Amino acid sequence: MENLTLNIIPFSHPVQELEIGFYKQEKQGCYSLWKGEYPQSFWDDFNEEMQNCDKLYTNFIDTENCDYKASVDFSKNRRLAVHYYSRLIYNYFETVADAVKINFVKDIQIWFKDETKSTAVYTSYKRFTIKVQFHKVTESPELLISFDGNTTAYNKSLAELDDFPPELINYVKYNTQVVKYEFAEDAIKQHIEELYPILSNPIRDYLKIARPDFKRGNKYKPYYKNITDFYHNHLNSKEFKAILPISEDGFYKMPKHKVHKTSFNSNKLRFFNNTDIVPHNGMKNIGPYKASPHPNVRFFFIYHKPDRNFAVKTLYEYFTEGYKSPEGYLYFKPLKTYIKQPFLIDKDTSIAFESPESALREVKQGLLNLEKQPNTKYVAIYVTPIHKTETDEQRKMLYYQVKEELLKHDISSQVIYKDNIGHKDFSFYLPNIAIALLAKIDGIPWRLDRDTKEELIVGVGAFTSLNHNIKYVASAFCFNNNGEFKGFDCFKANETELLAGTIGKQILKYVVDNGESAKRLIIHFYKKISNKELEPIKKMLNKLNLTIPVVIVTINKTTSEDNVAFDTSSHNLMPVSGTYLKIGWDQYLLFNNTRYNASDTEKDNPFPVKLSFSSTVDNYFDDRKVVEELIDQVYQFSRMYWKSVKQQNLPVTIKYPEMAAEIFPFFEGDKLPDFGKNNLWFL
């Protein structure tokens, strides 16, 4: 049985009401308030004045010569209470911590030196964030305590740095403050000899300071230890409790009735004629759900000539004969047996290039000379000599250029780095390569084991392209509710009309394929959808004379590290897969991993996914079963990842769009070739 502890601490109001003075003009030592933080009584007593008053100022103490005065009930004026309590916390830790910072959503981040990770070059700090919130989980005000990992400040000040590019400076530490240098007050900039830059990756690269190593391992255990140490050392004290009377019980233990589970067998996947919960076992022991629908499939190699004798020949042997251990154990069946598809390498179509510099030209010529057989699907196996970590931009671009050129010729591709083929663990790569190849020839490795319903699921994701002026590129992926892929498109994130158009085309296709319209449209969105993004979709449905509900499930692209729960009955602390908790009126925390029962211990320990729900239909979620079904769907779609037999914690409705959007900005054309809209070429 799980014992779940959430990283929040309930507290009670230190005072129920407080008389506060407010000023219309900025005043030394006062904090600015926006309209949503004004006392409710102001809107009752001075409504017209408040409409034209964009800011008020207060320090929550002074009332002398103030423009307005109010006795504020913090239980009724929650936004002002959040501001007030946050300021109490800031003022307290300014005298206790090594540094205090207000983050971009006005929560308080607290820094303490970490001597174990500091060096002569930089000082390392552990960072904790305290967020004040009301009645999200309990009936009380709450402190959400999160551990934000370590950051480092350079031990040389800006005054000691010669010829340093000023555009690299982002945050600096000054005494106990951490401020964005661009917006630092003149009183701070005067002390340039005391401004220590925070080491971002660009600064590290410029100063030739190694970036921190990325560590996999269990994240729950160090996170839990750090927040419990922080609680015992800094919160569970008379001094802090005099400011905020936090619960004597510390972190909140979730009552059993507040801990929910996805439906029984929701982790089951359907293969050919049976089910399994582990993709690797299902593919190996049962076989794919559906083989390629194409009767004729031909494969060919693209490779650097020097790689033919080892990399290409070895890979060909693995595909045709399987992969055996030195003792003769068959780790991987021949490809044709694994994916139920004859494996024919058309030697006359393979393209060997002289050098990476001439590769694109030679590949283009090879494709022009390719004499395709009629009614035949072609797949290129590109053995690349260039690793994905290549720093030379021109060489790195070859990956994208070859992918795009093949798509222009209606050819999907599988890219394999040459040195991986000789790696001792290559047997673990082969099943992943095989299922991706099967998906690219329109086979279905596995699908969700659920009844098909009359609904269309669209996933919209994004990727930040740092190499392009376009900040985001989004893509929309369409599926039916048992996980079968129905097509996608890519476009700029602000092209909301194109997003609506893509969804409209898929709805029409649904009608053609099924003889009836979908009963609802479910959109998995990578962030909170705006009215600007939703409005074109609603207009499109009106044009189609469809009055179906639109349900939006917001799925944070990155896993939640602010809201986390811990199973204290487990050594690894990670809750069982399929556990979910309500953490707000429309927010849920879903634990999506491969720990399927309390006795399981897993190597991978992903943090939970944060979900929120909205709909175009009022009171749509009053029936709890509706939310349960939608959470089940998110949980199940994370099992539809066909790039690996290893399960992901994000659903493919978000993961696939992100993967395609990461590649698309590097394509020369601004539109995805039609072939690329109906093929999983990016896997």
Q: pLDDT tens digits for 425-465?
A: 898 899 999 999 999 999 999 988 887 778 888 888 888 76
DSSP letter (8 states) at residue 602: -
Looking at the domain assignment, is residue 429 inside a domain? yes
Residues paired with 270 in a beta bridge = 275, 447
What's the CA angle centered on 663, arms 658 and 669, to 5 degrees? 125
- Final residue in a domain of this structure, among 205, 235, 254: 254
Looking at the domain assignment, is residue 26 inside a domain? yes
Question: pLDDT tens digits, residue range 651-683?
Answer: 999 998 888 888 888 888 778 888 988 899 998
Calpha distance 63→534 (Å, rounded): 45
Q: Are 199 and 164 in contact (CB under 8 A)?
A: no
Calpha distance 302→349 (Å, rounded): 9
Calpha distance 355→377 (Å, rounded): 28
> What's the confidence (pLDDT) of residue 20?
92
> What is the mean pLDDT of the segment spanning 504-511?
80
> What is the overall mean pLDDT for the chain?
89
- Confidence at 582, pLDDT banded by 50, 70, 90: very high
Question: Higher confidence at residue 89 or residue 469?
Answer: 89
Question: Which residue pairs, CB below 8 angstroms and at least 24 apart, start in 165-168?
Answer: 165/206, 168/197, 168/200, 168/202, 168/203, 168/206
Same domain, 363 and 433: yes
In angstroms, how far apart are the furthest CA atoms of the chain? Answer: 90
> What's the confidence (pLDDT) of residue 471?
56
Same domain, 24 and 68: yes
Phi and psi at 303, nearest 5°, equal: -160, 160
Looking at the domain assignment, is residue 274 inside a domain? no
Tell me: pLDDT of 468 over 80: no
- Confidence at 390, pLDDT banded by 50, 70, 90: confident
Looking at the domain assignment, is residue 263 inside a domain? no
Same domain, 346 and 240: no
Q: Which of 471, 408, 479 is nearest to 671 (CA)?
A: 408
- Confidence at 380, pLDDT banded by 50, 70, 90: very high
Looking at the domain assignment, is residue 273 inside a domain? no
Calpha distance 452→582 (Å, rounded): 28
Looking at the domain assignment, is residue 271 inside a domain? no
- Final residue in a domain of this structure, among 412, 440, 468: 440
Q: Are 484 and 448 in contact (CB under 8 A)?
A: no
- Confidence at 579, pLDDT banded by 50, 70, 90: very high
- Final residue in a domain of this structure, among 235, 254, 273: 254
Tokens representing residue 546 in the block: 């469809």
H or E element that contains 303: strand 297-304
Same domain, 208 and 347: no
Calpha distance 287→528 (Å, rounded): 39
Its domain, for residue 210, covers: 4-254
Same domain, 199 and 242: yes
Same domain, 503 and 403: no
Calpha distance 576→605 (Å, rounded): 10
Same domain, 426 and 457: no
Q: Which of 74, 605, 666, 139 is nearest to 404 (CA)?
A: 666
Pairing of strands 99-102, 108-113: antiparallel
Question: pLDDT tens digits, residue range 79-127?
Answer: 899 989 999 999 999 999 999 998 877 889 999 999 999 999 999 999 9
> Which residue bears the tokens 């190597």?
603
> What's the confidence (pLDDT) of residue 470?
62
Same domain, 44 and 65: yes
> Which residue bears the tokens 């006062």?
30
Tell me the whole-structure pTM to 2 decimals.
Answer: 0.89
Tell me: pLDDT of 553 over 90: yes
Environment class of 392 (CB within 10 Å of its CB; exposed 0-12, middle 13-18, buried 19+)? exposed
Question: pLDDT tens digits, residue range 131-169?
Answer: 999 999 999 999 999 999 999 999 999 999 988 998 999
Calpha distance 650→641 (Å, rounded): 9
DSSP letter (8 states) at residue 308: I
Calpha distance 558→568 (Å, rounded): 24
Residues paired with 496 in a beta bridge = none
Looking at the domain assignment, is residue 95 inside a domain? yes
> What's the confidence (pLDDT) of residue 576?
92
Domain of residue 422, CATH code: 3.40.50.2300
Same domain, 409 and 520: no
Calpha distance 547→559 (Å, rounded): 34
> What's the confidence (pLDDT) of residue 435?
95
Same domain, 142 and 81: yes
Calpha distance 67→76 (Å, rounded): 22
C-alpha count within 13 angstroms, C-beta hemisphere, residue 592: 28
Domain of residue 607, CATH code: 3.30.420.10
Tell me: pLDDT of 211 over 60: yes
Looking at the domain assignment, is residue 281 inside a domain? no
Q: Are 361 and 400 in contact (CB under 8 A)?
A: no
Tell me: pLDDT of 12 over 80: yes
> What's the confidence (pLDDT) of residue 479?
77
Q: Which of 133, 114, 95, 131 is nearest to 239 (CA)?
A: 95
C-alpha count within 13 angstroms, C-beta hemisphere, residue 67: 15
Calpha distance 309→137 (Å, rounded): 62
Same domain, 489 and 637: yes
Same domain, 247 and 342: no
Calpha distance 427→419 (Å, rounded): 14
Calpha distance 195→127 (Å, rounded): 19
| Counted domains in the chain | 3
